[in-house]
Amino acid sequence: MAAEKRVVFRSPWLPLALLAPQAAVIGVFFFWPAAQTVMQSFQQQDAFGTSTSWVGVENFVHLFQDRSYIESFKTTAIFSVSVAVFGIAISLLLAYFADRAIRGALVYKTLLIWPYAVAPAVAGVLWLFMFAPSIGVVAYALRKSGIDWNHLLNGDQAMLLIIMAAIWKQISYNFLFFLAGLSSIPKSLIEAAAIDGAKPWRRFWTIVFPLLSPTTFFLLVINIVYAFFDTFGIVDAATEGGPGKDTAILVYKVYYDGFKALDLGGSAAQSVIIMSIVVVLTVLQFKFVEKKVNY
Amino acid sequence: MVERRPLLTFLTHTVLLIGVAIVAFPVYLTFVASTHTAQDIVQAPMPIVPGDQFVHNYVAALTGSEKGAGSGAPVGRMMWVSLVSALVIAIGKIAISLLSAFAIVYFRFPFRMFFFWAIFITLMLPVEVRIFPTYKVISDLHMLNTYAGLTIPLIASATATFLFRQFFLTVPDELAEAARVDGAGPMRFFKDVLVPLSATSIAALFVIQFIYGWNQYLWPLLVTTEESMYPVVIGIKRMIAGGDAQNAWNLVMATAILAMLPPALVVVLMQKWFVKGLVDTEK
Amino acid sequence: MQSKSLIASLSLAAIASFTTPAHAQVEIQWWHAMSGPLGEWVNDLVKGYNDSQKDYKVVATYKGTYPETLTAGIAAFRAGNQPDILQVFEVGTATMMASKGAIVPVGKVMKDSGLKFDPSGYVSAVAGYYTAPNGQMLSMPFNSSTTIFYYNKDAFKAAGLDPEKAPKTWAEVALAAAKLKASGHACPFTTSWISWTQLESFSAWHNVEFATKGNGMGGNDARLTFNGPLQVRHIQDLENMAKQGLFVYKGRENKADTTFPSGECAMLTGSAGLLGNVKKNAKFNYGVAPLPYYEDVAGAPQNTVIGGASLWVMSGKPADHYKGVASFFNYLSSPEVQSESHKRTGYLPITTAAFKLTEQSGFYKQNPGADVAVNQMIRKTTDKSRGIRLGNFLQIRTIIDEELEQVWAGKATAKQALDKAVARGNEQLEKFQAANKS
């Protein structure tokens, strides 16, 4: 990795001791089950595990022969890029403005962070109340202004719906971290630039944004991981992958196959595929994007 | 702000108001729905101004007195389980990740990057997919129906480790140098310099991880078989009748609002710590 | 001193062991997916049973939605601590059955317990779904509903239709829809659970196969046949209605349910279990009628297919647990308990005795429409109408949802969609067959 500290401590055992608690937890509760899941991707079994047989790469081959699975790569790409880019941009905008010490800042910040506390189970219901083509408040308003909102049959609208829902969830999250990042930029730097005659727009791009880059990089990586892995709940509540398969992102199929359809081999194979994709994406980000980060 | 720019201030308020209107709208709707009768809510379209059932609905939600709530499980007990879980998870995650990030950033040792990536990969396999083997591990360790089972598996945190890594990398080398020169060991440096500097990151993470722990649904559902260990989100979910029976939406929304109060409190309290952190770094 | 207190405590222990009952209460674990008012119903049932006897104590635990509950049961089984009773939705029947040795058939449990158990007393259209071809009951029907037809009497009147005459045939439905649309109604007809109402129940109602081998009852090598001429004709009719705005698609599963009590849609085919919701929330006069049919099809109307869930008994528990389960099932099946449940929830009574008891109490007279569902089911079933048992059924329903959505969106014809659904569905059946080799 590009980012390294010049000054380090030397100790043969201390770092391992520091890492031990987390290593133990993930060893037992993640890697051990994960290894079994990977094994499952090479097997075919019934839901209860009473009849298991090895099928080699058959699960993988089966997936790539399915046209709709290949299609969902494209759907996922569009979805993830939209969620990450717009999620970060919108929250950065809001965080920047909220950071200016104006009246009511505390209220604004609280109201913008609080939606993160809405439990996913309740959020799904809320989106239904807002966008359901029949009783939805927002759908009703849209219809009144001439837009025929029907995400049940209109694939593009359905895609828009899940992108909006996913971004909504993340705005509060990104906002919070941007706030934290902004608050650690010394005001003295900005004052000095202002005295030098730099306008707010310039100050933002030459001082604030570079100093914020560690946070931005963090959020970029995390948002992409979020878009790839944590969004199946939203899809399940809003569109269930429909209409047809227009909003069936990769991870939704993983969730559906593993959890509802109880096709353990298939969903394990898909998990391996997604995991590989995101690992590559993340490595690429660390290799190329992190170069631009100012530490 | 730095200088007076009335136009920019106006723009600031405008943007923020629009932002709040959009982002907080669903929460507003939840509140509105919690002040109407169930029948009014299902008539299309739902009303968007509060109704007159506030007292009635909230009393019913708190005391479980109205029929249709799905169970007699006391809301208080569930809130308590949620509170303990959320606190243990938030504090545990932060503590563990501070130590891990410190080790990865400030030391050189074999497998250093391997550990970082190993921790990172835990974000990439949703629990729903590895549910059967993970459940078996918990069951074999006799951790079902315990606070330990509810919290320990969730205590590793790639997000927190990664965030602290980012932050530690911005800490000037001179500080570590100075500590070394003073003869202070790494743990002294960690305790006296790094942790206090990380106050804002810790505050931000505390909010996020507390809410994360508070909103856990699937994991507690699986590892508890006694309803006395159910956190409050399960309580909300079970009020929503799947299938055909009619939902008492007004009570569901009232309970949801109640369930959002502790996290809101955490958000407000943590903001004070942001400001404090800011003042401290103003040296 | 020490030895004195030791003797004292030993004596106390000895006395205690004489006064406690010879055997402790056996706890029976029941995992279910009933939330909201239905959850209260479950708790009341359990309380009623526990209060009625001292040997067993049933503990009911809510484990989430149907898929979540099934997953919890499977996870527990794999870890060796499964519950005694598990509530599984009807589409999971094949999964439960195909699992070698994970369950114990209810018929066996009841027989072994020595309690009086008469399979013929159960309504064949209800229990038949959960019965093996050789007559052995595999799981105990618990909450079963069926597909019925709701219509808005006030809207009918406003459209110039006779509010007391419910459309009996699909042709009449189309005519009524046209009149409703002409009178300004934006959503004349819609449906919930489209696969269940318009294909599964539809097929059974017309005594036509949904899949080979008696809809899958005969083995895992059954294949789908719902793209036969009658089903294609029906979906084509719906397609035409959709093009004219007479049939409006309102979403998968039961998302369309709220459109009827809110007055948005004038006619709805959906679950009988919705009746309670309609009664509570509808601000208009409504009517309930049997599912429409095509009168030119011989054998129609036959009977409709149930939906809902049943109770499965897990294997690997101690013998006295099974006695407790049998005793509990006996209680649940008693006419009084069944009748009360039926009146309270709208779910079907599973025994003819319970139906008769309800009839005698005058319930149906006081609550018009409550007997529509039952009347569709109290009939002798045929091999094609007893029920459906297909592997990967959940996926097949999703496939049907997806392909039919192409029809409503105008992207495919009825025949194309059904053919594609059958082809994709058969792949699922092949996968299930391969994964569950017997």
**Core vs surface per residue B22-37: b (16+ CB within 10 A) or e:** bbbbbbebbbbbbbbb
Closest CA to A123 of B215, B266, C62: B215
Task: Report percent pLDDT > 70 for chain A.
Answer: 98
Closest CB to C36: pick one of B225, B226, B239. Answer: B239
Provide the 3-class DSSP secondary structure of residue C381.
Answer: coil
- Judge whether A239 and A161 are in contact, CB under 8 Å: yes
pLDDT beyond 90 at B89: yes
Tokens of C316: 């690997």
Angle (nearest 5°) at CA B80 between B56 and A173: 90
CATH number for C229:
3.40.190.10
Closest CA to A16 of B104, B169, B96: B104
Provide the 3-class DSSP secondary structure of residue C225.
Answer: coil
What is the distance between the alpha carbons of residues B199 and B273, in angstroms, rounded to a whole number? 8
* Range(s) of the domain holding residue C291: 146-305+389-435
Tell whether B14 and B50 lie within a shared domain: yes
Closest CA to B38 of B259, B251, B258, B238: B251
- pLDDT for the residue numbered C56: 94
Q: How many beta-carbon pairs below 8 A join chains B and C?
A: 122
pLDDT beyond 60 at C87: yes
Tell whether B143 and B205 lie within a shared domain: yes
- For residue B24, name the pLDDT band (cuts at 50, 70, 90): confident
Provide the 3-class DSSP secondary structure of residue C28.
Answer: strand
Q: Is C267 left (phi over 0), alpha (psi -120 to 50) or beta?
A: beta
pLDDT beyond 80 at B107: yes
Tokens of C369: 């429409």
Tell whether C150 and C139 lie within a shared domain: no
By the 10 Å C-beta count (0-12 exposed, 13-18 middle, 19+ buried), C114 is classed as: exposed
Tell whether B37 and B92 lie within a shared domain: no
pLDDT beyond 50 at B136: yes
C240 within a domain of the structure (yes/no): yes
- pLDDT for the residue numbered C381: 86
Tell whether C150 and C172 lie within a shared domain: yes
Any idea what DSSP says for residue A45?
Answer: E
B136 CB near a chain C CB, below 8 Å? yes
C377 within a domain of the structure (yes/no): no
- pLDDT for the residue numbered A159: 93
Name the more confident of A4 and A272. Answer: A272
Closest CA to C428 of C402, C405, C394, C401: C394
Structure ipTM: 0.87
Domain boundaries, chain A: 58-292
Q: What is the per-residue pLDDT across A137-181, written as a single tens digit (0 to 9) for each?
A: 888 888 888 888 888 889 999 999 999 989 998 899 999 999 888
Cβ distance B156 to A29 less than 8 Å, yes or no, reads yes
- Judge whether C342 and C74 are in contact, CB under 8 Å: no
User: Is residue C143 within a helix (H) or strand (E), and if so which, with residue range?
Assistant: strand C140-152
- How many angstroms away from the CA of C43 is the closest CA of chain B? 8
pLDDT beyond 70 at A3: no
B221 CB near a chain C CB, below 8 Å? yes
Tell whether B169 and B212 lie within a shared domain: yes
Closest CB to C101: pick one of A50, A53, A135. Answer: A50
Tokens of A102: 């104006």
Strand partners, C190: C268
- pLDDT for the residue numbered C21: 47
What is the distance between the alpha carbons of residues A173 and B205, in angstroms, rounded to a whole number? 10
C179 within a domain of the structure (yes/no): yes
- pLDDT for the residue numbered C228: 94
Please report, as a single letter, which amino acid is at residue A93. L
C186 CB near a chain B CB, below 8 Å? no
The torsion defined by the Cα of B133, B119, A180 and A229, in degrees rounded to 10, comes to -50
Q: CB neighbours of C279 closer than 8 A, spacing ≥ 6?
A: none
Tell whether B167 and B31 lie within a shared domain: no
User: What is the CA C399 to chain-centroid distance, rounded?
Assistant: 20
Average pLDDT of the segment spanning C93-107: 90
C382 within a domain of the structure (yes/no): no
- For residue B100, name the pLDDT band (cuts at 50, 70, 90): very high
Q: Is C422 left (phi over 0), alpha (psi -120 to 50) or beta?
A: alpha
Residues of A in contact with B118 (CB under 8 A): 23, 26, 31
- How many angstroms away from the CA of A245 is the closest CA of chain C? 7
Q: What is the per-residue pLDDT across C25-70, written as a single tens digit (0 to 9) for each?
A: 899 999 999 887 888 899 999 999 999 999 999 999 999 889 999 9
- Judge whether C368 and C278 are in contact, CB under 8 Å: no
- pLDDT for the residue numbered C12: 54
Tell whether C188 and C253 lie within a shared domain: yes
- For residue B274, name the pLDDT band (cuts at 50, 70, 90): low
- pLDDT for the residue numbered C36: 78
Tell whether C34 and C69 lie within a shared domain: yes
- pLDDT for the residue numbered C319: 92
Average pLDDT of every residue of chain A: 87
| CATH of region A58-292 | 1.10.3720.10
Q: Which residues between 148 and 167 in chain B have a beta carbon less than 8 angstroms from any beta carbon of chain A?
A: 152-153, 155-157, 159, 161-163, 166-167
Any idea what DSSP says for residue C211?
Answer: B
Chain B residue with the nearest C-alpha to that of A90: B19
Cβ distance A243 to C402 less than 8 Å, yes or no, reads yes
- How many angstroms away from the CA of A152 is the closest CA of chain B? 17
Average pLDDT of the segment spanning B63-89: 74
Chain C residue with the nearest C-alpha to that of B134: C75
Tell whether C186 and C273 lie within a shared domain: yes
Tell whether C203 and C242 lie within a shared domain: yes
Q: Which residues between 64 and 93 in chain C have a beta carbon less than 8 angstroms from any beta carbon of chain A?
A: 67, 70-71, 74, 77-78
* Range(s) of the domain holding residue B16: 6-63
Closest CB to C281: pick one of B39, B218, B243. Answer: B39
User: Is residue C43 within a helix (H) or strand (E), and if so which, with residue range?
Assistant: helix C36-52
Q: CB neighbours of A163 closer than 8 A, spacing ≥ 6?
A: A79, A82, A83, A86
As a three-state string, the secondary structure of chain B is CCCCCHHHHHHHHHHHHHHHHHHCHHHHHHHHHCCCCHHHHHCCCCCCCCCCCHHHHHHHHHHCCCCCCCCCCCHHHHHHHHHHHHHHHHHHHHHHHHHHHHHHHHECCCCHHHHHHHHHHHHHCCCCCCHHHHHHHHHHCCCCCCHHHHHHHHCCCHHHHHHHHHHHHHCCHHHHHHHHHCCCCHHHHHHHHHHHHCHHHHHHHHHHHHHHHHCCCHHHHHHCCCHHHCCHHHHHHCCCCCCCCCCCHHHHHHHHHHHHHHHHHHHHHHHHHHHHHHHHCCC
Q: What is the per-residue pLDDT across A203-247, written as a single tens digit (0 to 9) for each?
A: 888 889 999 999 999 999 999 999 999 888 888 888 888 898 899
C40 CB near a chain B CB, below 8 Å? yes
Q: Is C181 left (phi over 0), alpha (psi -120 to 50) or beta?
A: alpha
Tell whether B38 and B82 lie within a shared domain: no
Tell whether B50 and B82 lie within a shared domain: no
Q: Is A214 left (phi over 0), alpha (psi -120 to 50) or beta?
A: alpha
Q: What is the per-residue pLDDT across C103-139, written as a single tens digit (0 to 9) for each?
A: 999 999 999 998 888 888 888 888 888 988 888 999 9
Chain C residue with the nearest C-alpha to that of B135: C75
- pLDDT for the residue numbered B277: 45
Tell whether B106 and B49 lie within a shared domain: no
Angle (nearest 5°) at CA C298 between C293 and C290: 25
The torsion defined by the Cα of B17, B23, B29 and B31, in degrees rounded to 10, comes to -80
- Judge whether B225 and B145 are in contact, CB under 8 Å: yes
C375 within a domain of the structure (yes/no): no
Mutate to test the interface with A, among C192, C314, C431, C433 (most CBs of A within 10 A): C431
Tell whether C297 and C311 lie within a shared domain: no
- pLDDT for the residue numbered B71: 54
Strand partners, C88: C310
- Which residue stretches of chain A are H helix? 14-26, 32-40, 58-65, 67-99, 105-113, 120-131, 137-144, 155-183, 187-195, 200-203, 209-229, 232-238, 250-255, 264-284
Name the more confident of B281 and C172. Answer: C172
Q: What is the per-residue pLDDT across C384-396, written as a single tens digit (0 to 9) for each?
A: 888 899 999 999 9
- For residue B283, name the pLDDT band (cuts at 50, 70, 90): very low
C252 CB near a chain A CB, below 8 Å? yes
Q: Is B218 left (phi over 0), alpha (psi -120 to 50) or beta?
A: alpha
C248 within a domain of the structure (yes/no): yes
Tell whether B40 and B173 lie within a shared domain: no
By the 10 Å C-beta count (0-12 exposed, 13-18 middle, 19+ buried), C79 is classed as: middle
Residues of B in contact with A233 (CB under 8 A): none
CB under 8 Å, gap of 24 or more: what pairs does A195-200 form? A200/B5, A200/B8
By the 10 Å C-beta count (0-12 exposed, 13-18 middle, 19+ buried), B171 is classed as: middle
- Residue A205 main-chain phi, psi, to 5 deg: -75, -30
Cβ distance A179 to B274 less than 8 Å, yes or no, reads yes
Average pLDDT of the segment spanning B49-67: 75
Average pLDDT of the segment spanning B202-215: 91
- Judge whether C189 and C292 are in contact, CB under 8 Å: no
How many structural domains does chain C have?
2
- pLDDT for the residue numbered C188: 95
Chain B residue with the nearest C-alpha to that of C31: B225
Could you count the other beta carbons within 10 Å of the beta carbon of residue B255? 27
pLDDT beyond 80 at B275: no
Tell whether C95 and C201 lie within a shared domain: no
Tell whether B58 and B82 lie within a shared domain: no
- For helices B6-23 and B25-33, give the axis angle rounded to 10 degrees: 50
- pLDDT for the residue numbered B65: 55
C434 CB near a chain A CB, below 8 Å? yes
- For residue C420, name the pLDDT band (cuts at 50, 70, 90): very high
- Judge whether C399 and C316 are in contact, CB under 8 Å: no
What is the distance between the alpha carbons of residues C74 and C82, in angstroms, rounded to a whole number? 8
Residues of A in contact with B109 (CB under 8 A): 12, 15-16
What is the distance between the alpha carbons of residues C389 and C211, in angstroms, rounded to a whole number? 9
B168 within a domain of the structure (yes/no): yes
Any idea what DSSP says for residue C159?
Answer: T
- pLDDT for the residue numbered C344: 86
- pLDDT for the residue numbered C294: 94
What is the distance between the alpha carbons of residues C385 and C380, in angstroms, rounded to a whole number? 9
How many structural domains does chain B have?
2
pLDDT beyond 60 at B272: yes
User: What is the CA C40 to chain-centroid distance, rounded?
Assistant: 18
- For residue A270, name the pLDDT band (cuts at 50, 70, 90): very high
- For residue B246, name the pLDDT band (cuts at 50, 70, 90): low
Residues of C in contact with B42 (CB under 8 A): 258, 261-262, 281
Instruction: Report CA Rg, chain B.
Output: 23
Dihedral sign for Cα atoms in the order B20, B25, B31, B35? positive
What is the distance between the alpha carbons of residues A196 and A209, in angstroms, rounded to a whole number? 18
C148 CB near a chain B CB, below 8 Å? no
Average pLDDT of the segment spanning A279-290: 91
What is the distance between the alpha carbons of residues A254 and A240, in angstroms, rounded to a whole number? 12
Tell whether C279 and C220 lie within a shared domain: yes
A113 CB near a chain C CB, below 8 Å? no
Average pLDDT of the segment spanning B13-28: 89
What is the distance between the alpha carbons of residues C397 and C401, in angstroms, rounded to a whole number? 6
- pLDDT for the residue numbered C179: 95
- How many angstroms away from the CA of B141 is the closest CA of chain A? 10
Average pLDDT of the segment spanning B130-158: 90
Cβ distance B244 to C76 less than 8 Å, yes or no, reads no
Tell whether B115 and B32 lie within a shared domain: no
**Core vs surface per residue C82-111: b (16+ CB within 10 A) or e:** bbbbbbbbbbbbbbbbbbeebbbbbbbbbe
- Judge whether C433 and A46 are in contact, CB under 8 Å: no
Average pLDDT of every residue of chain B: 83
B68 within a domain of the structure (yes/no): no
Tell whether C34 and C100 lie within a shared domain: yes
